[in-house]
Structure 1
Amino acid sequence: MDVKAISMTWLSRTGLTNLNAGEGGSNLVDLKKYRWAGREYPYVSGQAMRFYLKEAIRREVRPEEACVADEQGETCGRIAECVLCDLFGFMTTLPDIGAVVRVSPVKVSPAMGLIPLEETMTVDFLTRRHRGAVQEEAGTIRGDIVNVELAVNLYKVGLAVDLRRVGREEELMEVEKGRGKKAQIIRGVTLKDYVDEAERWRRIRLLLDAVRDFSDYSKQARLLTDFTPDLLLVALQANYSHRLQKALEVLWDGATILDITRLDQVLQELREDLATIDGRPALFAGMLEGIVANGEAVREILSRHGIEVATPREAIARAKAALGV
């Protein structure tokens, strides 16, 4: 099975929370928002999503395998030693080399809220109380007033992995073609290995486990919620593309309904891109009950394409088993 890419897309319903604040005033912690058709929806930036996944991986590896950015935001840039610099790329300056940029093999979308904010948003009034400083009257209680925008929502997220570039880096190569006066120098790009195959697949497993278990999103001390997948599609592809990202289109009319016509069409288009396992397409699905109102219709469409529906965690486990990680 020649797998060149992993593509994932999922829906996740949250509790009342603020996963990624915008640029509110000094006494307002707002939600990041985008506008569509004259209505506002929340979103979580792609940068925040990458941070959450990085922190999940950091929990599972040794400290020296997951560097921390310095005051200028630069990371170590050691592809061979650092799992995070390898998977998520970097822009940094290395001694005796200069500026170095590594394009991330892992692409992550923003998490786009799909339910209009006027349907679910509220403002929570908080006070931060603290005792007066030494020079103030002993025992004085002072406080700050903070308003926090919170919302319940259903978010859509996407992730894609260019497997050939995990643990590897592009290098320019030159090949001489022909002889004598007709000789030509042909330039191209090759991939240099920085780690062995076992380590490459270990890093891919760490990433898949991070999707299953990530939890280090913001403001969870007071707003505990779960942001892991509730409806998930995982494709092992024989080529690299982002087509799967169009599969989960939600229609909102007082209830969340998945567009099964869109799902059917995208799955049909993906057939030629998918790797196969025992003659079946390497696409795995997981769904929890109640995530969309037409869950049975979704199961029927997936079954029609030969895709068995499990739970999201089981879908990831099946993808890992197919990859041998």
Structure 2
Amino acid sequence: MTNLKTQGFILLDVDVVALNNAGKNDRSNFDNAVATKKIYKNGKSYVYVSGQAWRYWWRESLQKNMDWTMSPITRENKIAFTDANPIDYPDDDVFGYMRAATEKTTDDKGKTKSTNITVTRVSPLKNSAIISVTSVNPAENWSSMARQEGDAVPYSKQEYSAVMKGMFSLDLNMVGTFSNYNKTGYVNLSEQLKKEAIEKGCQEVEDSYVKTSDGKAAKLVQLPKDIRKKRIVDAVSALKYISGGAMQTNNMGDVTPKFIILATTTTGNHPFSGVVRTYGERDEQFQLNVNGIREIIKEYKETFAGKIFIGIRSGFFEDSLPELNKLKDEFSDMVELCPVNAAIDQYCEQVKEQVN
């Protein structure tokens, strides 16, 4: 079985937003002051959206736009967990889970004992944080909650404009395929759920990488191919509609990609992290690194399965279009250049044929 992964890189373009806040701003003169998330590198400040927040937006989009039925959440004391049922709930399958639990069983002698049925699943979908391409110094802006009667209540918030980058990887072999090994992250199904899955039409397939104690290939439980295809295509297609972020009432921002690269690779390494190049004394300017993309294609050519789809929104990085068209002509058998949503749709058609 070939190890295939969808590798994606995106750029967002947002103005006067506060997409992911970090709580009270202790450096502000206002009592009610909210800071945005930011991080420092080489003494420079970069705003970012946490990977967790991006995943939350992604789940919301899948629920609202792809009609996914989300796994119910159970809360006990200070912990919370989903149903941990990837057969019935696609978000458990794609986003992973951990549920620590025990069940009471009765043996042949009538004695009751507790059995550990903890299940975990490493997420097939992995993603970075979304971080500003250039260094950014957020502006602290004063606001107030005011009505016609009574005193206004002042507060402040940090806002910024930025081009932001993020990347993700989706393991195509893992989606809809579940293991039951005694190893952390690999006990995906309880014995009862495994039995129910096979009764519902799942099949057992051989694991190419794991052997049992007698030297035979271990068994995996796998959903039908049409269900696995749909979950993969939905997960990628949701990027066309994704929305979210804090302060949307007064600082609404569009967080759909304005630039995207989608490719299938036969390795786990994500090749597109250096697609944008910054320059200037404070790294305050940037440009699309087309030569970097060219270098990636040449050096990793043997690891790409199918075509690489590059999507760009009209008006964004227009000065790079001549170079991108040259890239497309140079690698005409490997590269497709088109609008963002068309790139997503065309990649999804390709990946349908790549699902084993």
Same fold (TM > 0.5)? yes
**Equivalent-residue separation in structure 2 for 1:117 and 1:42 (angstroms):** 6
The answer as to whether partners of 1:231 and 1:287 remain within 8 angstroms in 2 is yes
Q: What are the residue-to-residue correspondences of 1:272-311 with 2, within 5 Å?
A: 272-276=302-306, 282-292=307-317, 293-306=319-332, 307-311=335-339
Q: What SS does structure 2 have at the residue aligned with 1:154?
A: strand
Specify whether residues 68 and 123 from structure 1 end up closer, same or farther in structure 2 by C-alpha distance, changes over 3 A only. farther
Question: Partner residue of 2:163?
Answer: 154
The answer as to whether partners of 2:314 and 2:339 remain within 8 angstroms in 1 is no
Question: Partner residue of 2:269?
Answer: 242
| Residue 93 (structure 1) aligned with residue 100 (structure 2) | yes
Q: What are the residue-to-residue correspondences of 1:47-196 with 2, within 5 Å?
A: 47-60=52-65, 65-71=69-75, 72-94=79-101, 96=103, 97-118=116-137, 121-129=138-146, 141=150, 143-172=152-181, 175=212, 185-186=214-215, 189-193=218-222, 195-196=223-224
The answer as to whether partners of 2:101 and 2:118 remain within 8 angstroms in 1 is yes
Larger deviation: 301-310 or 266-275? 301-310
Following superposition, the deviation at residue 2 of structure 1 comes to 6.5
TM-score (norm 1): 0.83
Question: Partner residue of 1:41?
Answer: 46
Following superposition, the deviation at residue 94 of structure 1 comes to 4.4
The answer as to whether partners of 1:77 and 1:94 remain within 8 angstroms in 2 is no
**Equivalent-residue separation in structure 2 for 1:255 and 1:295 (angstroms):** 18
% identical equivalent positions = 19
Following superposition, the deviation at residue 263 of structure 1 comes to 1.8
Q: What are the residue-to-residue correspondences of 1:247-262 with 2, within 5 Å?
A: 247-253=274-280, 255-262=285-292
TM-score (norm 2): 0.76
Following superposition, the deviation at residue 79 of structure 1 comes to 0.5
| Residue 31 (structure 1) aligned with residue 48 (structure 2) | no
Letter in structure 2 aligned against 1:294 = S
Specify whether residues 174 and 319 from structure 1 end up closer, same or farther in structure 2 by C-alpha distance, changes over 3 A only. closer
**Equivalent-residue separation in structure 1 for 2:321 and 2:279 (angstroms):** 15
The answer as to whether partners of 2:169 and 2:270 remain within 8 angstroms in 1 is no
Q: Deviations over 1:75-133 (max 9, x none)?
A: 11111011111100012234535332110000111001112213xx3222122347xxx
Following superposition, the deviation at residue 200 of structure 1 comes to 0.9
Superposition RMSD in Å: 2.5
Following superposition, the deviation at residue 247 of structure 1 comes to 4.3
Q: What SS does structure 1 have at the residue aligned with 2:24?
A: coil
Please list every run of 5 or more consecutive structure 1 residues that lacks an aligned counterpart in the other structure: 131-138, 177-184, 277-281
Specify whether residues 162 and 190 from structure 1 end up closer, same or farther in structure 2 by C-alpha distance, changes over 3 A only. farther
Following superposition, the deviation at residue 3 of structure 1 comes to 7.4
**Equivalent-residue separation in structure 2 for 1:80 and 1:234 (angstroms):** 27
**Equivalent-residue separation in structure 1 for 2:315 and 2:286 (angstroms):** 10
**Equivalent-residue separation in structure 2 for 1:151 and 1:218 (angstroms):** 13
The answer as to whether partners of 2:175 and 2:228 remain within 8 angstroms in 1 is yes
Question: Partner residue of 1:200?
Answer: 228
The answer as to whether partners of 2:51 and 2:129 remain within 8 angstroms in 1 is yes
Q: Deviations over 1:160-196 (max 9, x none)?
A: 11011111112337646xxxxxxxx337654321x21
Q: Deviations over 1:15-62 (max 9, x none)?
A: 210111113346222111111221101011110111110000011455
